[in-house]
Structures are given as structure tokens and as C-alpha cells.
Structure 1
């Protein structure tokens, strides 16, 4: 191959000053030309490298793969190749290189020599190894899914648990059905509900909990989170999922709920008897005024205890609410007016203006008792946490086959760091505790469970000292979830 001297000199200058290791390799593997970058990378002088072949510089474990590609190129099966391989540094250490090789031929197509480019990726490889160690040793199952739903990579933790929901094996594609159940432990998930399928559809979520395993005695509970993976230009590359086993937590919660329900049942019977006899005593006409006043205090506190027991019972039954709903055609406008009438005397006594804005009639499919419970709780809370002279506004409307209920107050508000906890069981805000506002922290947990059981959603927006807005959305044709 004839190359004009000027072009040849330019090519040599480019090779020598390239920041990437470069070499011209003879057909027998000897290094004919070597640049400074490769010399510095491997710790040899350029003359020392030219007395060696690439075989001597390659780690023994990577030599066979390199030689196989080298021979394929010489045989004309491929024109070039690329691979990651290890090189032996002059001091005995290992250098990782990203090798690109192309074969140069003369005008008649006869092989002349190889041109190799080697990028030092040792630090990158060490980083990858550290990440790989973390990926494999964390106690959380990790899964990477491609944009087409194919499982691209998973760690050992996730691999070891796949046999529980999929005893016959997993095909490595999102949405495969198996022994995966909702939290009731009875209802199998559909393909659209599987966390892997949801993630491939572009959803991101946290704490999506469920049970896996066909045998209730040995099944496990998991909480899954998903995030979308995107390229530099925002193009979708798939999804990453993290699976945390929460079996012990779920079983402990079940035991706690059963205990709370059992104790509540046991206390309710004697309390009902106490309230009955209090009614009889108060009806007697021969009681002194001071005794009658004391009985009113006892009765008031006994009723508070009865309400607490009722809340505790409902908390214990929250997991089964979906199956317990009694759906029928319900006029929510009428229910909201009734709930407002119930809290009106208390609001009036505190000088709180109660505003109700509802259509004459708005009918949906729902459980009337449960929806009334939601309305009672939201309105009574709004009144309870609104100072004298404030305003509570309840509105109802329909938006795109969805019923929207909003209860807005000008009350004490909720601190930003507490907003995310208001629907947690037994949670009470700092300000409510400081001002000794009575409550158990169970009402909003029950409200959230009822709304969720109807397939709806409840959210809150709040500002300290300005008030809160609770927003409930319900499908107009609810099905128990």
C-alpha cells in the first residue's frame, strides 16, 4: 500500500499524540508501532513494547477470546472487532482496556496489518465492580426491565425469590401471572396490576404491597417501588424495580389488628350495659341536681369510649372493607347535607360559619353508611380544628365521571413535615397535641381505607395558620377494590 510521505507523516503524528492508546499490529501479533499513550498505560517504553506481541501483554484468562476474534478477522469472516480485556502492566498489575481492532488490506485485498485502539477503562471497571458488589449484596431485590418488558438484569436476592410466586419458572417478561395476591391474601392480581407490568407502562410508584406464594402458611409479603430509566435525551430505556420483603411486618400488623378487634369486642359488651344503666339512672326523678350533673359527665365520657371502640373495630376490619361494602345507588348530595346538619349545632356554638355547596342531586354507586362516615369525619375534623369565627366549606361536584368532595377549613393547618402522615394510624399533629385537641388519630385512617375500598383517592393540602383542604375523588360507578 503506497501512502504519500506527507500523509504518512501526518498519520504517525496523529498516532503518537493521540490521548488514546494506539498500535499497529503485525499479522503474527507483534507490535510494529506504539504510541506514547499506550506506553504510559502499560508501563513499558515504546521500544520494549515493540519487542513484544499482544499475546504476551494480554491476561491469560482473556487471551483465547482475543485470539479467536483475531483469527476470524484474518480469515475474512469479520472486518473488525471490539472487546473488553485485561492487559498485564509492567509492574504486574492488571489494566482493563476497551479494545477496538480493524484489519488493513492492500489494493488486492491481502491483509497487511491490524490497527488497534485501546481505551483505559480500569477506573470505570473498578467502579462497575463496586456497583456490582452492592447490586448483589443488598438485602433488597433489584430488577431492570427493558422498554419491551424483557427482564434485562436482576440481582441474586430477587432471583432467589422468583420461585415462590412462579414455581414453574419465569419467562423473563413483565406481567407474567403467578401466585401473586392482593393484601387480602385471596384475590389474585391481574396482568395489569402486576408491578412489573405497571412499571413497563411508564408508572412510578412506592410501597406497592402484596403477597406471593400459593401456600398461605409459607407465602411472603413484598413492598415494591418502581422508577423509569431514561437516556441522556430523555428517551425511555425501561424501568428499575426494588422489592423489599415485609412478611414479618405484615404478620405483626395482622396480629395487632386481630388483637385490637378482639379487645374492642370484649369491651363493647360491658360498655353497652354501662350506658344502658346510665340512661335508666338519668330517668329517675328523685336524683339530686349534683348527682344528675355527675351522671352526665359519666355518660359523656362513656359515649367517647364507645366511639373509640367503634373506631378500633373499624381499624381492625379495614383490610376487608372492599369485600364488606354494600353498594347501592346513593344520593351523595343528600348525605352531605345530612352530615352538615349534624355538625351545624357544634359549629354554631363555636361561631364557625358552615357553608355547603352541593347540587340538588348527585347519585353514584357506593356504600351509603361508609360514605356518610367519610363525610361525618371530614366535617367534624374541620370544625374541631378551626378556631372560633372561622369558616368550613363543603362542596360537591362531578368531573368526568368522577365525584369530587372538598372540605375546606380556615383552621390551624398542618405542618409541612406532617402532611404526609395525616392518614397514618394513630397519628396526631404536634399543634393538636400542644393545644390538647381531643382525638385518637384513627378517623382519617378509617376515611382513607373507606375511600380506597371504593376505588377512590383522598388528598390533603394545608398551610399552618391558614387551614386545610381535604379532597376526595370517587368513581361514579364504584366497584369494591
Structure 2
């Protein structure tokens, strides 16, 4: 890289993130993660990079820090990256989950699954980005090889199922581009012409933006459900306490309007796939946060308690909230895709979050159940193996 190291507010941004979790725990999370992680300024400058990201791209940390992300972005994906950054900053996108390419130091393409969220201050002004990058080159190559084997063996049923999945992925991917256009142009229209619109027209415009946002969220959730169903498991020791602290910090950063009190019991250890387990915690804790915030008459801080105990080689992880709760008569619907126990005005979403969480738990040979009472909050219990159980059951 030839550009000089940029002078940015890296220390301020890093301190802002670290203060949410404690400097040591935040840096431990970044350093220990096998997923590429970075803190990026609003201007696109790398502020903090973890070892996994350096290894993924073939650069030392000092060769990336202070430089613009465009320097290692594949030229064909640069316009997409710039558009996504703009949408995140102006609020038309809440987060990004995309497959895109970077350029390795040796010139080769690096395909990653990129997850980016923008962190905002209490006034809603964007402060910095948190990026997660997972190398998916092996999955792409494995997918191509698997398709070839299926065709050679004449497994018609397996081949048709895979084609259906590829079709669904392609449809979801292709729908994102027009949705981004709808969101971007409706946002521009709102900014430039809102004063010239009457109340009815403003309502129509608001409905368009809300519908596009819901569709974007639904496609992202469908992609996540597809990923957790077929992604290769990378089993290793996982500190669930650290992951829960991490998720809690992200929840509070993403919603500064609400105060949160998130207590996490230290020392919760399991064997599993770190990224999938973090996704599970994110779904369960986001569910707890959301229905606590939407509880009628809620004035106290959002309270979430994460604890656990080991029984007969299994960790019983408990996530408890003090939110709206639900009627246990409908508990059988709770983890089914597209089933909602609350309407949109009560915080209900696309109905996939808990289905995603259950699938992650199932792939870890565990169980997920819930107990609740309307108006008294909910408790989700995740049962996971503490000891390594060997290779994943491919039929799971």
C-alpha cells in the first residue's frame, strides 16, 4: 500500500466500543475470534483489525490500520461497497449482510460474507462501523464440488433440492438490489420533497419505506436461516459469557434511546461453532430486548439476565427478560418459521428469529425451550453439550 497512514479518531472510536464491554474483554473478543473483525470510521478508514482479518487478507495489522477499505476491495465490488456505506450512514439500511470480494496481498480474490452495523450516539448520529468478515471461499469451492458429485451420481432428489436452494438464494440476492433502490430513492424523496407533500402523501411514502425495510429484513433473515442450516460446523471451545457480553454491547449501542441492564454470568463454556452460537445469542437476546422495550408503560431499564449451570455434561443456559411475555398456550408455534405471537405494533417481526436460534441449537445437538407469562417476561433455556461430541450429524 502506498497511501500514508490516515490521521483519524481511531483512539476515540476504539475507546467508545471498549467502554461498553471493558477494554480487556473487548480486545480479547477481537483477538480470539476466528472471524475477521474490524472497526471502521465513517470515512471508511480501518481503525482496528483483528488477527483473523489480517490472515484472511495477507497483510500485517500496521499495513491495514489507517488505510481506506477501498484499497483491498475488489474493483468490481467497490461501487456496491460505497452504496452500502452511504445507505448505512443515512439510515436507509440498518445493517449489511452481503457476499463480496476483497483482494488478497498476493492478488487473489477473497470471497467473504460481510456483516456491517453502524454504531450511533444517543442523538442518532453515526459514529463508526463494526464489520465481521467470514471467509467463504471453501464453502463456494465445496458447493461447486458437491454439485458435480451429485450430477455424476445421478442423485436426482438431492440435485433438485440443491437447485431449489440455489434458486432461493439467487432470488433473495436479486431482490436486494431493487429493494435498496426503493429504500434509497424513497429516502431521497423524503429529504427533498417532504415539505411539498400533504399528510396523505407523507403517509404513503412512509408506508413504502416501512414495507421495503421489512422486506429487506425478511430477506436477511431467510439468508441467515439458510446459512445456519447448511454452513460447515467449525467446532472449538467457545466462551458463551464473552459472546453474551459482546451481543449485549451491540444491543445497547444500536438502541441508545433505551437504557439496558444486562448481567452475564462469567465462565459459561461450551464446545461449538463460535459464529453460529453468537448468532443464536443475538436472536434470543434481541428478542428479549425488543419485547422489553415494547412493553406497555415500560419506564425501567431493559433487564436481561444470562446465566447457566452444568448438569450431567450439559450446559443449561438461561436467558431471562422482564418484558411483555406471551401466552404459553401458543408456545408450540414459538420456534416455527413465520409464526408470530405478537403483532407489528407489539414488536412482532418477520417470525424467523427464534426459528434461526432453534436451528443453531439443533445443529449443536441441543434443545431450546421457553417459559413465559403475559406481562411477567420470558425465560429461554438452551441446553448445549459442554464436552465435544465429535463430528456433526450430517442429517441434522
Q: TM-score, normalised by structure 1?
A: 0.39
Structure with bigger helix share is 2
Structure number with greater CO (CA < 8 Å, separation at least 6) is 2
TM-score when scaled to structure 2?
0.47
Structure index of larger Rg: 1
